[in-house]
Structure 1
Amino acid sequence: MRILLVDDELELVSALAERLSFRGFDADWVTSGEEAIEKVTEIKYDLAILDVKMPRISGLELRKELEQICPDLKYIFLSGHGSEADYKEGTSGADSYLIKPVKIEDLVEKINIALGI
């Protein structure tokens, strides 16, 4: 199972990818929506973990772009802002929505559920 993490916070996204790899997940990461679009055209991912608020392309907008390229991709959203509007929009097309800072155990649980593990 391949996971793509997308978050504009470099330290957070790289640390999450490393922590997931320690738990047996094959996780790549990028820091922008543009990079994510490029990655999914090169590699088949099973799950994308997207930050809701990012410069240029938000996680919610990115999901719409990725759905065109990879219709079977599953989604988990992360947000440090946690507004009710973002929650409603994020959960409408996602397998899960978590508020940052996220505990790795909670994220792993949501990943397992989304991927049916």
Structure 2
Amino acid sequence: MTACTLLLVDDEPSFLEATAERIRLRDLTVICASSGQEALDRLELVPGIDVVLLDVSMPGMDGIETLTRIKQRCPLVEVIMLTGAASVPTAIDSIKRGAFDYQTKPVDLDSLLGTVEQALNKRRRKQDKLLDARMRPYVTKRERDELIAAILAE
């Protein structure tokens, strides 16, 4: 798996610790947060977070609200939603709000990391497209801004 930094967000300490340790054993960097607000704080304070693994059901700010705020503040960060109680409406809502994927717990680590790899590849493709858009000669600022907005909306 390609090196990346993950932010794992879950209010269940046992899941958070066990999953983080299992991912670290794969030589990946994992930062943990136990609430939506803590996740947003980590994204501001820790540079280079590539993918967020985000629990749907948390007290206070739930995963859906946290996802919305993440995508507003950090549109290139890909988010994979995790839930113990799958719900088709919640899955659809998550994807509409910009989640890369929606998976149920308990997660198969190999499957989850495969999805992380796909999310990371999507992020890198977007970064490349944004760089190309910013470097384009002979386009107006408005055209460039529209192109950048379209790339971020992908």
TM-score, L = length of structure 2: 0.72
Show structure 1 runs of 5+ residues with no match: none
**Greater share of helix residues, 1 or 2?**
2
Q: Percent of aligned positions with the same letter in both sequences?
A: 33
Q: CA deviation at 1:69?
A: 2.2
Task: Measure the CA separation in 1 of the matches of 2:114 and 2:70.
Answer: 23
Task: Measure the CA separation in 2 of the matches of 1:84 and 1:69.
Answer: 26
| 1:18 paired to 2:21 | yes
Whichever residue aligns with residue 68 of structure 2, its letter is K
| Rg larger in structure | 2
Q: Which runs of 4+ in 1 moved over 4 A?
A: none
> How do 1:12-91 and structure 2 match up within 5 A?
12-44=15-47, 45-91=49-95
Aligned length, in residue pairs: 117
Cα RMSD after superposing both structures: 1.3
Task: Measure the CA separation in 1 of the matches of 2:17 and 2:33.
Answer: 8
Q: CA deviation at 1:63?
A: 1.0
Q: CA deviation at 1:5?
A: 0.5
Q: Secondary structure at the match of 2:57?
A: coil
Task: Measure the CA separation in 2 of the matches of 1:94 and 1:25.
Answer: 21
Which is further off, 73-82 or 83-92?
A: 83-92
Task: Measure the CA separation in 2 of the matches of 1:3 and 1:113.
Answer: 13
Q: Secondary structure at the match of 1:76?
A: strand
**Greater share of strand residues, 1 or 2?**
1
TM-score, L = length of structure 1: 0.93
Q: Secondary structure at the match of 1:97?
A: strand
Task: Measure the CA separation in 2 of the matches of 1:85 and 1:24.
Answer: 35
Q: Secondary structure at the match of 1:27?
A: strand
Q: Secondary structure at the match of 1:109?
A: helix
